[in-house]
Amino acid sequence: MIDAYRGQQLAMAQPAPTSPPQQSIAPPEYLVVLGAALLAGVTMLWNIAHSPDTQYDEVVYTKAAQQVAQNWSLTWTNSPMFVHPPLSFLAQAGWLRLLGMADAPLEHAIVAARVLTAIAMIFAFLLVGLLAAHLASKADRRRGLIIVAVVMAVSATDPVLLRYGRLAMIEPLALIAALLTLCLAMWLRDKPLLVYVPVVGLATGLTLLTKEVSAFLVFTPVVYQLLGRDWRRAGVAFAGFAWGLVLWLLFPLWAATLGLAQSFASQKFSMFERLTGLLQITGWNRPGVSFLAAVGGNAAQYATTYLMMLGGAVALVWLVLKATSGPARWLLAWLLTSYAFAAYSVLLGTLNEQFFVYLMPASIAGTVLMADALVSARVRAARGGSRRPPSALLAAGAGLVLVLGFATVGWARYYLPDNDGIFKTAAFLRTELPACSAFTTTAEASRFTNLLPGHVVRSFATEGGAVSHGVHLFVMSDKDVLGGTVTADFPSTVRSQGRMLASFDSATYRGIQLWQVPTDPYDPLADVETIPGGVFVTTTGSHCGGFPVLDGPQGSFSTGWDGLGGKAVVGPPLTTTFTTGTQPASQLFRGALLTNDGPAGVRAAQIVAALAATRPDSYQQAQFPPITRPKGGVLAQLTDPAIAAAYLRAPAGSTPTDAVAQARGRFGDPLGPATQMPDGTVRQAFAGGVFERPASSDVARLAPIGQLAIDAGLVTPPDSAGALVVPPPLPLADDDKRGPDQPTSVEPFVVSLLIGLALYIGLPAIGYELATLSRRPRPTNRQRPS
């Protein structure tokens, strides 16, 4: 095809070389292509299973592809995916089916899907090389091959192309479709409308059905013809583009067949708002995110990409200030569409990093060809007396070595070491922690929910919010935190209060860590979920299990617990409510046994004296204070202000009317003086519980006598009361909020696409046959048989 281009190009009105063609020594074309493919194969596929780290889009796209492969359902939720067209998902689904990975674990499917996109990217590099060969029309064979080799080598090591080519994203598939369309448009640029439009229109349509944002690339042929002011050919090129748009209509047609045209329109309108910048919810232009900071933050990884972008921009300016024709006009058109899109995205639109994938081929080709022109001019000017290689040539060579060297070092840094923290975190959570363990992540919850089906994953913005629901496991990455998903002090709070369970390397996310934050069982803001009739208190694991505290037929335990001070004073429940024999209903808590005393309500059962008598050894071992049966009034025995405040349920230093009587009703009388025990804690025994105040605190609470009461045989709750209860569901993450189920089958789209393609190919063939028949000479009368 290169030769075909070259032949066509030479036929153009270009000045013929004035000297005979130089005999050049150059490797065969196929060796250059093979070498470039080999290089790209290494850079794209090496260690692809372990680097880069996966991301939300890749996870959900692969999940959707698996769903399509299994049952034609194009979704990762319960509604069809209209944000992007179906073609790339169908390609991935076919690939996964071919490999037998339609129902494989998602991690494995993601790696398999990456292989397809990486291969697509390798072919995209070859197409960029092909385009460069066409554009380098004036080069002799050797220089042409050098330019092609340089373009492909720079492409194969470009950091942005590597980053997104090695992920199971839509971009590689959309890029290869767009570049193929561009090649076809160049090849057929002078062909009749009836040849150009069906071929280029089909390629355009398939590109748009892969990802609409690539529309600017497939508009390049129109711009090329407009630049040449060839209005007739511009019309033909536009007809090809419009034909592609018609083919894209299969996408909304699919939505309409599902009865979801309105939902489709709504999603597409939202996407239009995002692309035009009316709505900024992702990317570097959204409020609170600094474009320059993002560019600076990624400079170490993307330095050569930035250099190529700059080179492409300079090439664009250079060509804008020249009169162009033929290949130069193609390059100008390509750079114009690419940079117009990039400039709009940077200035006004949604600026997602992966959009640079569409810009890079033009940038690289433009930079290399401009550098070649610059070197040629310098060499021409320097010709005069030296046989030494001109300095411009040396500088260009050194620049190329620097770019490739820097890019290769970056590749080695980011893709040789394992960079799969998300997979490893998921594996750790799956194998090392109980399945019931809920965790919160600084990333989108969906990054993990699909990798860990059955696990509860949320994205709390505050440590306090997570802990309040009984969630104690935190998956954190510093990069997510910079994105503003959580409060700025979230990581420091977790790190200061918790302990790290595991840490995983991830260059992508600057490390991923799993932390566990334990809480004080008496913390009133931790582990408590409001439920009808009372609360649920998580007591085990990270939202794994606990007990409800309810107002119900067995008594107003929730009200009673609150009356005693709730979790802050009595602590969490150790059982559900229970009855034994004819005894009143009870519920055991960490600090007291609450019983339903009928008209008197729920109060602390007076078990402390019995406990001290029954199990004096355990009582003393727990450093509970002696029981001395003090004489005198209650107030006189409340010598510790904090314990007095907790007992009286009144601010320290105040004694409201009836406070003593109410306190005696709640907790019973004091059984001894407040005593500082050997562990430094001040404790005082009451009939219903033992108040304690750590030496460093001014807050008192009931010491843990609940378990001691069970061990002493004073309380024997039935097994059913001690069985952990499953906590109520956590509030849904925004990603997990679902509407009613919708039809999601992509089968109607596939059917309409196949019918469309059959007609597309079949009708012209029939038309051609009919035209041939009609042109066939009719037999004369004399030839007719009589």
Partner 1 sequence: MTGPVPGPPVTAALGGVEPLPHRQVVLRVVVVLVVLVLGLLVRFSGVLHKADPALPPLDGAAQVMPGVLRAGPASETELMLMRDSFHVSGVVAIGDVTVEERAVTKALGMQLMTIEIADVDAPSAQHVVELVRFVRSNTENGHGAVYLHDGDGSGPVLVTAAMVQLVEGMPLADVLARLTPQERAALGPAQNQALQDAAAALTGDGLPTGPYVALREVAR
Only one of the segments 10-18, 353-361, 716-724, 754-762 lies at the binding site for partner 1 (rule: CB under 8 A); that segment is 10-18
Query: At how many degrees (to 10) do helices 106-135 and 29-45 cross?
Result: 150
Residue from 38, 380, 398, 716 touching partner 1 (CB under 8 A): that is 380
Q: Does residue 384 touch partner 1 according to CB under 8 A?
A: yes
Q: Dihedrals φ, ψ of 290, to 5°?
A: -95, 120
Q: Does residue 319 touch partner 1 according to CB under 8 A?
A: yes
Burial class (CB in 10 A: 0-12, 13-18, 19+), 591: buried
- Count of residues for the chain? 786
Cβ closest to partner 1, residue 8 vs residue 662: 8
Q: Give the separation between CA 200 and CA 760, rounded to whole angstroms.
A: 12
3-state secondary structure 34-96: HHHHHHHHHHHHCCCCCCCCCCHHHHHHHHHHHHHHHHCECCCCCCCCCCCCCHHHHHHHHHH
Shortest reach from residue 281's CB to partner 1, in Å: 12
Cβ closest to partner 1, residue 136 vs residue 162: 136
Only one of the segments 163-171, 328-336, 546-554, 578-586 lies at the binding site for partner 1 (rule: CB under 8 A); that segment is 328-336
Cβ closest to partner 1, residue 385 vs residue 553: 385
Residue from 37, 461, 502, 610 touching partner 1 (CB under 8 A): that is 461
Cβ closest to partner 1, residue 34 vs residue 488: 488
* Cβ contact 718:578 at 8 Å: yes
Cβ closest to partner 1, residue 260 vs residue 319: 319
Shortest reach from residue 204's CB to partner 1, in Å: 25
Cβ closest to partner 1, residue 310 vs residue 761: 310
Burial class (CB in 10 A: 0-12, 13-18, 19+), 298: middle
Q: Does residue 376 touch partner 1 according to CB under 8 A?
A: yes
Q: Does residue 734 touch partner 1 according to CB under 8 A?
A: yes
Cβ closest to partner 1, residue 66 vs residue 468: 468
Q: Give the separation between CA 222 and CA 245, rounded to whole angstroms.
A: 14
* Cβ contact 335:99 at 8 Å: no
Shortest reach from residue 353's CB to partner 1, in Å: 19
Stretch 219-248 residues interacting with partner 1 (CB under 8 A):
none
Q: Give the separation between CA 292 and CA 396, rounded to whole angstroms.
A: 29
Residue from 487, 540, 623, 639 touching partner 1 (CB under 8 A): that is 487
Residue from 46, 56, 344, 760 touching partner 1 (CB under 8 A): that is 344
Q: Cis check for the bond before 192: say yes or no (omega within 30 of 0).
A: no
Q: Does residue 147 touch partner 1 according to CB under 8 A?
A: yes
CA trace torsion 662, 668, 672, 675 (10° rounding): -70
Cβ closest to partner 1, residue 530 vs residue 696: 530
* Cβ contact 96:113 at 8 Å: yes
Q: Does residue 343 touch partner 1 according to CB under 8 A?
A: yes
Cβ closest to partner 1, residue 147 vs residue 169: 147
Residue from 50, 108, 143, 649 touching partner 1 (CB under 8 A): that is 143
Residue from 2, 9, 179, 260 touching partner 1 (CB under 8 A): that is 9
Q: Does residue 699 touch partner 1 according to CB under 8 A?
A: no
Shortest reach from residue 123's CB to partner 1, in Å: 24
Distant-in-sequence, close-in-space partners of 168: CB < 8 Å, separation ≥ 6: 58, 61, 62, 65, 92, 110, 113, 114, 116, 117
Only one of the segments 139-147, 196-204, 216-224, 772-780 lies at the binding site for partner 1 (rule: CB under 8 A); that segment is 139-147
Which token pair is 145? 């091959």
Q: Give the separation between CA 34 and CA 64, rounded to whole angstroms.
A: 34
* Cβ contact 92:65 at 8 Å: yes
Q: Give the separation between CA 178 and CA 456, rounded to whole angstroms.
A: 40
Q: Does residue 310 touch partner 1 according to CB under 8 A?
A: no
Cβ closest to partner 1, residue 106 vs residue 148: 148
**What does the buried/exposed string (b/e) look like for 239-274 if buried means 16 or more CB atoms within 10 Å of the residue's CB?**
bbbebbeebbebbebbbebbebeebbeebbeebeeb
Burial class (CB in 10 A: 0-12, 13-18, 19+), 231: exposed
- For residue 162, which of 344, 369, 419 has the smallest C-alpha distance? 419
**Separation in Å, CA 404 to CA 150, 196, 335, 397, 760:** 9, 38, 22, 11, 44
- For residue 57, which of 461, 444, 511 has the smallest C-alpha distance? 444
Q: Does residue 400 touch partner 1 according to CB under 8 A?
A: no
Q: Does residue 468 touch partner 1 according to CB under 8 A?
A: yes
Shortest reach from residue 512's CB to partner 1, in Å: 22
Residue from 65, 116, 135, 438 touching partner 1 (CB under 8 A): that is 135
Residue from 14, 492, 496, 628 touching partner 1 (CB under 8 A): that is 14
Cβ closest to partner 1, residue 368 vs residue 451: 368
- For residue 224, which of 342, 126, 319 has the smallest C-alpha distance? 319
Only one of the segments 207-215, 341-349, 428-436, 672-680 lies at the binding site for partner 1 (rule: CB under 8 A); that segment is 341-349
Residue from 31, 38, 98, 278 touching partner 1 (CB under 8 A): that is 278
Residue from 7, 11, 19, 781 touching partner 1 (CB under 8 A): that is 19
Cβ closest to partner 1, residue 440 vs residue 681: 440
Q: Does residue 373 touch partner 1 according to CB under 8 A?
A: yes
Residue from 82, 356, 439, 460 touching partner 1 (CB under 8 A): that is 460
Cβ closest to partner 1, residue 25 vs residue 773: 25
Shortest reach from residue 385's CB to partner 1, in Å: 4
Q: Give the separation between CA 84 and CA 268, rounded to whole angstroms.
A: 9
The DSSP call for residue 695 is: T
Residue from 70, 78, 262, 276 touching partner 1 (CB under 8 A): that is 276
Q: Give the separation between CA 307 and CA 405, rounded to whole angstroms.
A: 13
Cβ closest to partner 1, residue 168 vs residue 467: 467
Q: Give the separation between CA 52 and CA 45, rounded to whole angstroms.
A: 11
Question: Could you tell me which residues are beta bridge partners of residue 682?
Answer: 676, 693
Q: Does residue 325 touch partner 1 according to CB under 8 A?
A: yes
Query: Where do the DSSP E strands lie in 409-554?
Result: 439-441, 457-458, 473-476, 499-504, 512-516, 528-531, 534-540, 545-552
Shortest reach from residue 1's CB to partner 1, in Å: 17
Shortest reach from residue 774's CB to partner 1, in Å: 42
Shortest reach from residue 535's CB to partner 1, in Å: 8
Report the side by side order of strands in the sheet with 675-676. Answer: 675-676, 682-686, 689-693, 701-702
Residue from 467, 512, 608, 702 touching partner 1 (CB under 8 A): that is 467
Q: Give the separation between CA 178 and CA 185, rounded to whole angstroms.
A: 10
Residue from 189, 424, 469, 603 touching partner 1 (CB under 8 A): that is 469
Only one of the segments 8-16, 47-55, 242-250, 644-652 lies at the binding site for partner 1 (rule: CB under 8 A); that segment is 8-16
Only one of the segments 117-125, 229-237, 259-267, 459-467 lies at the binding site for partner 1 (rule: CB under 8 A); that segment is 459-467
Residue from 386, 657, 780, 783 touching partner 1 (CB under 8 A): that is 386
Stretch 504-533 residues interacting with partner 1 (CB under 8 A):
524-526, 528-530
Tell me the Cα Rg of the chain: 37
